[in-house]
Copies of this chain bind each other. A is one copy, B any other.
Amino acid sequence: MEVKEMKKSRKTLLRTEISWVQPGKILLKGYNLIEMIGRKSFGDMIYLLFSGDLPKGNEGKMIEAILVSSCEHGLATPSTSAARSVASGGVPLQAAVAAGIIGLGDSHGGAIEQCAKMLQENIGEAREKGFEKTAERVIKDYQARKRRIHGYGHGIHAPEDPRKVKLYEYAREIKVTGDCIRFSEAVELKLKELTGKPLPINVDGAIGAVISDLGIHWTFGKGFFLISRAAGLTAHVQEEHAKEPPMRRVYTWDDVDYQGVPERKIP
């Protein structure tokens, strides 16, 4: 009945299940956002926005841990150097941060989404037919299609990404683990067995597994990374604006190797 009253829309084109605003009230998945200020954490809100309800347990704390793990990774990452370059062109903070966020693509944090997808699509089979057996089937399937399993290996933090170690430890400590983390570990073991080389779960894979156990759909995967990294990018753009000259070049034409056609006459 209350829902009906709320639906005053003339435009079915403008529909959403996320939120609704009235003077003095901002409904978020049914809860008044205003009442949650000071009572809920930002992690709780993200859980609410992405899963549909407020945490029953420590889900919000787990999301906070994820946000901490990814908020900054140095000046030399593609997104950070892009944001700083853009900032140096003389643009407002939010636009330079946005340029960095655009860069958080399939190869730069995208493994969160891909790993979560792999886990969520196969967890049913794993529960039914066994984790090891399903891990083997999945890996061989990926190999047959010549596709990489995202979220494993290739970090600079060898032998294991310490952020992954911490995230899994913490998930166990606060009891938010489930079958997806277990399955991610079964895949890790089987990958080593089948390929002969260690391909440990990296931080992207770990986040993918953790959010899967939190019950969040893989299509939200990149969201965790971009919200988190927005903090580090803001700090870098502010530093660029505050400390560096405009239009600066971190390398010059002399550093560039022109490998194209040598000088020629215009016809």
Contact = CB atoms under 8 A, between A and B. Distances in A.
A3 to B, nearest CB: 4
A78 B68 contact: no
Interface string A229-267: 011101110110110001111111111111111111111
Interface string A18-43: 11111111111111111111111111
Given A19-B232, A42-B42, A49-B235, A261 B14 contact: no
Interface stretch (A86-94, A139-147, A187-195): A86-94
A11 B91 contact: no
Given A91-B106, A256-B15, A31 B266 contact: yes
A265 B83 CA distance: 30
Q: How many copies does the complex hold?
A: 4
A197 interface: no
A235 B94 contact: no
Contacts of A20: 74, 253, 256, 258, 260
A120 interface: no
Pairs A-B, 5 closest by C-beta atoms: A9-B257, A90-B107, A89-B108, A90-B106, A30-B261
A24 B232 contact: no
Interface residues of A, number: 141
A157 B23 contact: yes
Contact of A107 (B2, B19, B247, B256): B247
Contact of A231 (B46, B157, B250, B265): B46
A259 to B, nearest CB: 5
Interface stretch (A126-134, A178-186, A219-227): A219-227
B219 A259 contact: no
A45 interface: yes
A239 B19 CA distance: 12
Contacts of A260: 16-20, 27, 29-30
Interface in A71-91: 71-79, 81-83, 85-86, 88-91
24 contacts: A11-B255, A13-B249, A13-B251, A14-B76, A14-B251, A42-B228, A49-B232, A74-B256, A75-B253, A75-B256, A76-B249, A76-B256, A81-B251, A82-B99, A86-B99, A91-B95, A92-B92, A92-B95, A92-B105, A92-B106, A97-B223, A99-B103, A220-B238, A230-B230
A7 B254 CA distance: 9
